[in-house]
């Protein structure tokens, strides 16, 4: 007597002259050989991660980005730092540009940008977002309310139709697999397990598996200013010890955002090796309401990058009043 809709999303299909030559994150796993030259359209999770994958295999990678920076929605300092590291590693960036035409030639795909630049590639991957896969399952016929394809639900995952529920990427939630699993688990516990609970999405950690990784939990600096008003920002950029010893040039970046009036840590961000692994542990502390004083009282593990989060003492900058 209950229906749970969890159909997820699907890569957004781009339409322009020659777009039939595009591949997406679906087809990329079935390529029969490594493309030597790859153009990636888009700079979100998928675009950035696949840029690193192809580059790691030795492909020449060019990212075509509509805006100036990658990873819209993440903390600006992290976005800019990671972008610099990707460029330094050899990934090319065409910013403020759009692909307008793809023509198949004998020696590959000729990709034309609206800036006039032409790039030759063996594969062109569209990574311009995902859309909920809800258009063909008849929800409109039974009156389920949707917005831009997303199924609208309440805090119990219930739609406006009493016996129909939805969770995951087909709803306007955080587009993360563990969040979808959490929502589904809460639904199952509430409806069938005798344990009434709602999905709790406060301080959910996430990572972009780029090279280097980007890990984050909590609010960006801009978000924290709007929510808390007064905030203190601690940040550090450094070369990890193992890179100094090996001669590698990769750097790491870390940032802590603290609500001034409570001393609570409301944002932690990192770009560097194993950032996702590191952020998972700190997210537990953030969910428990960890303060900057408590971080400062924690003894670090040396030599690790993670110890930087418990040894940053000096305020990098501070916002005393909310922005006008």
Name residues whose C-beta falls within 8 Å of residue 149's C-beta, 6 or more positions apart in sequence. 131, 132, 134, 135, 170
End-to-end Cα separation, the chain, in angstroms = 51
Backbone angles phi, psi at 253, to 5 degrees: -135, 135
Question: Beta 123-126 vs 108-113: how paired, if at all?
Answer: unpaired
Name residues whose C-beta falls within 8 Å of residue 210's C-beta, 6 or more positions apart in sequence. 48, 49, 51, 52, 82, 86
316 in catalytic set: no
Could you write out the DSSP letters of every residue in 1-47?
--EEE---EEEPPP-SBTGGGEE-TTGGGG-SS--SEEEEE--SHHH
**What tokens does 19 get?**
């777009």
* Residues forming beta bridges with residue 94, ordered by sequence position: 64
Distance CA 318, CA 65 (A): 31
Residue whose tokens read 């930087």: 308
* Residues forming beta bridges with residue 109, ordered by sequence position: 104, 121
The one catalytic residue in 55, 302, 316, 319 is 302
Nearest in space to 51 (alpha carbons), one of 312, 43, 182 = 43
Distance CA 51, CA 44 (A): 11
User: Would you please indicate which residues are annotated as catalytic (active-site) residues?
Assistant: 302
């Amino acid at each position: 007597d209950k229906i749970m809709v969890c159909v997820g999303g699907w890569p957004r299909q781009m339409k322009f002259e020659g777009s039939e030559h595009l591949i997406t994150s679906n087809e990329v796993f079935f390529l029969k050989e490594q493309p030597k030259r790859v153009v990636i359209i888009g700079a979100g999770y998928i675009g950035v991660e696949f840029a690193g994958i192809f580059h790691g295999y030795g492909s020449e990678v060019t990212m075509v980005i509509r805006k100036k920076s990658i990873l819209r929605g993440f903390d600006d300092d992290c976005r800019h730092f990671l972008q610099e590291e990707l460029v330094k590693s050899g990934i090319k960036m065409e910013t403020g540009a759009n692909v307008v035409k793809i023509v198949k030639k004998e020696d590959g795909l000729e990709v034309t940008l609206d800036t006039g630049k032409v790039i030759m590639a063996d594969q062109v991957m569209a990574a311009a977002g995902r859309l909920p896969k809800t258009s063909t399952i008849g929800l409109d016929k039974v009156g389920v309310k949707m917005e831009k394809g997303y199924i609208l639900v309440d805090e119990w995952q219930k739609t406006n139709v009493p016996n129909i529920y939805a969770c995951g990427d087909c709803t306007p939630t955080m587009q993360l697999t563990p969040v979808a699993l959490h929502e589904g688990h809460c639904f199952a516990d509430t409806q069938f397990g005798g344990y009434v609970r709602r999905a709790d999405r406060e301080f959910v950690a996430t990572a972009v598996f780029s090279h280097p990784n980007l890990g984050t939990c909590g609010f960006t600096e801009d978000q924290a200013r709007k929510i808390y008003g007064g905030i203190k920002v601690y940040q550090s950029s450094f070369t990890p010890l193992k890179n100094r010893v090996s001669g590698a040039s990769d750097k790491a970046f870390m940032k802590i955002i603290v609500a001034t009036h409570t001393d609570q840590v409301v944002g932690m961000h990192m770009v560097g090796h194993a950032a996702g692994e590191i952020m998972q542990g700190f997210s537990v502390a953030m969910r428990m309401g960890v303060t900057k004083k408590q971080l400062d009282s924690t003894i670090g593990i040396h030599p690790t990058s993670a110890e930087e989060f418990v040894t940053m003492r000096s305020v990098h900058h501070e916002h005393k009043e909310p922005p006008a």
